[in-house]
Amino acid sequence: MSEALSNLLREDRRFPPPAELAAAANVTKETYAEADADRIAFWEKQARRLHWDREWDEALDWSKAPFAKWFVGGRINAAYNCLDRHVEAGNGDKVAYHWEGEPGDTRTITYAELLREVSRAANALTELGVRAGDRVAIYMPMIPETVVAMLACARLGAPHTVVFGGFSASALRDRIQDCDARIVITSDGGYRRGAPSALKPQVDQALTECPDVRNVLVVKRTDQDVEWTEGRDLWWHEAVDKQSDQHTAEFFDAEQPLYVMYTSGTTGKPKGILHTTGGYLTQVAWTHWAVFDAKPDDIYWTAADIGWVTGHSYIVYGPLANGVTSVMYEGTPDTPHRGRWWELIAKYGVSILYCAPTAIRTFMKWGEDIPADFDLSSLRVLGSVGEPINPEAYVWYRTYIGGGRTPVVDTWWQTETGGMMITPLPGVADGKPGAAMTPLPGISAEVVDDAGNAVPNGAGGYLVLTEPWPAMLRTLWGDDQRYVDTYWSRFEGRYFAGDGAKKDDDGDIWLLGRVDDVMNVSGHRLSTTEIESALVSHPNVAEAAVVGATDPTTGQAVVAFVILRGSAAASGEQAAKELRNHVAAEIGPIAKPRQILVVEELPKTRSGKIMRRLLRDVAENRELGDVTTLTDSSVMELIRTNLSTPGAADDD
């Protein structure tokens, strides 16, 4: 990256907080001043929102940086904080989850019921030889037993590694082997797009190369036929249901490993992100309460998968630590119809919705007439997570889902950070469409140039975190050196997130995506995010993805893949010409795409992330890389076909 990323787009729209929300907000402007005055004392105060069996001796040990210890000497149990303390306080009858299966079957689970189920599962795992420190792999669909399994592990001090149910057998194998898990919890399958989707066969295949796995616990969800290895495989209902529903939680050191979550490395094996207990639970509980302004009577829904960090932090540990009622949904947004999400919001009176920009742009493509058929008046806060949100998607979300009245909190954080880091607070900030805005109280971030110097307002660069934070990853599982090299070597003493960012004229932060997704066009460093935002601002465009492709003249050239809305899709060639001119008008000629491909769909993982790596392969006529993590691998063939159709031309 040269001195700075080009700062291309301007956004002047502002949305102040609703007066009623601001007046009763959990967090106010004063909280920032409090944290600035004494950052460590601020986090100690938030830690005391939890139950500690023994309080810490030292809040932060940073003496062996970049290896942090938070709340040193404190003793805590995550499951106790998520369940027992609420039941003991008389809130056992409060609903923890309204669970909705894709076929329409439902379960309502109270905190007391969840505690009993977790206790049974903890007793069953103990019977199978699981002890504190042992790793347990969880490969499950979005069913309540997934939460039960995680909390049972946390109760025992056994770190879990949840492997997303869309991953292949080889991905599961790699993760089991890397953290040496001896127990696997799975199900026969789950429901996806109206049909049973098998999981057990992937486990069986993975375990042909994992001889140290002793047992596989299998939840019966779909009643699919499964292969069975006697002595190794056990039905969940047979092993768990017979157990006592009483279990005394043991308290562990604050730095007891809570979970390992794997993220794909750009090369080589996946990285095992290690999160420990005390600091992580402190930050996810506080950020859930603060950023969503969570109240006791809220109905909260994170529309993500538990297999990703968003699910860990903001479906399981954060909401449960705060005693909140959540909605949990097994299936896809378009099964059995495209109004499924809005139907669920109306049914349960959801007041807080947290989802990904890719989902929002999909709903834009389908049209605002679909949510208009449902009563969404219960919504009072909307959240966005996963990647930068285009300003037009932000405004659409606020207008058509939030009724033009709800704050939108655009949250930046990572698997590595554990919890939210940069986001507006709904009762404090005037929302800016597309901006993550400011670090949360107690968080220190900066945008720097190549030399590590803070860039001025109006300029772009690299996003770094300048002080340790409670939920930070502690290391990469089994590889301390890779942890140092990956996150701490680019800027000495500072964590480099791998993301580009800019500061606007007010000093607020805008995320520009991974620095890998930055293009160098004729010496200008251009962010794919900003060009995508320009494309999506055109009324005919539902979604866009931009990549840089090698160009003999300019070094790299902009290649855009766009999904058009409704009737516009019929005019591919004319649309491509119009959109190139639109980008030139919005940003400038330097950002004008060399080529615009009109496509029906974009390659996405099941977490909703666009696989730009595959689009670069197409743009440069290379052989496609691995497509196993895509929602639908046939999408890439459709895109290849599009190369020879109208709308693919790079005409003027």
Could you list the residues known to form a binding site, using ranges. Answer: 192-195, 310, 386-388, 410-415, 499, 514, 522, 525, 536, 538, 541
| Residue 17 Ramachandran class (φ > 0 left, ψ -120 to 50 alpha, else beta) | beta
Q: Are strands 252-253 and 75-76 parallel, antiparallel or unpaired?
A: antiparallel
CB 161, CB 259: distance < 8 Å: yes
Token pair 């605002």 is at which residue? 368
Which residues partner with 197 through β-bridges?
Answer: 190
Tokens linked to 471: 């939920």
Q: Exposed, middle or buried, 343 (CB in 10 Å: 0-12/13-18/19+)?
A: middle
CB 274, CB 180: distance < 8 Å: no
CB 603, CB 610: distance < 8 Å: yes
The rounded distance, in Å, linking the Cα atoms of 328 and 190 is: 14
Q: Are strands 325-329 and 95-100 parallel, antiparallel or unpaired?
A: parallel
Q: What is the DSSP string of 234-299?
A: EEHHHHHTTS-S--PPPPEETTSEEEEEEE--SSSSPEEEEEESHHHHHHHHHHHHHHTT--TT-E
Tokens linked to 650: 């790079």
640-645: long-range contacts, CB 8 A cutoff, minimum separation 24: 642/597, 642/598, 642/599, 643/597, 643/618, 645/572, 645/598
Using the 8-state DSSP alphabet, how is residue 53 labeled?
S
Quickly list H helices, 81-235.
85-86, 111-127, 144-156, 169-179, 200-207
Cα torsion 566, 350, 320, 144: sign: negative
Taking Cα atoms as reference points, which of 172, 249, 184, 246 lies closest to residue 214? 184
Cα torsion 579, 537, 378, 95: sign: positive
Annotated binding site for Mg(2+): 536, 538, 541
240-243: long-range contacts, CB 8 A cutoff, minimum separation 24: 240/117, 240/120, 240/121, 240/124, 241/120, 243/119, 243/120, 243/121, 243/123, 243/124, 243/127
Taking CA atoms, 447 is separated from 405, 424, 490, 500, in Å, by 31, 17, 13, 8
- In this structure, what are the phi and psi dihedrals at residue 204, rounded to the nearest 5 degrees? -55, -40
Annotated binding site for CoA: 192-195, 310, 522
Taking Cα atoms as reference points, which of 393, 324, 391, 331 lies closest to residue 356? 393
Helix count and strand count (H, E) for the chain: 21, 30
Annotated binding site for ATP: 386-388, 410-415, 499, 514, 525
Quickly list H helices, 128-253.
144-156, 169-179, 200-207, 236-240
Q: Are strands 183-187 and 252-253 parallel, antiparallel or unpaired?
A: unpaired
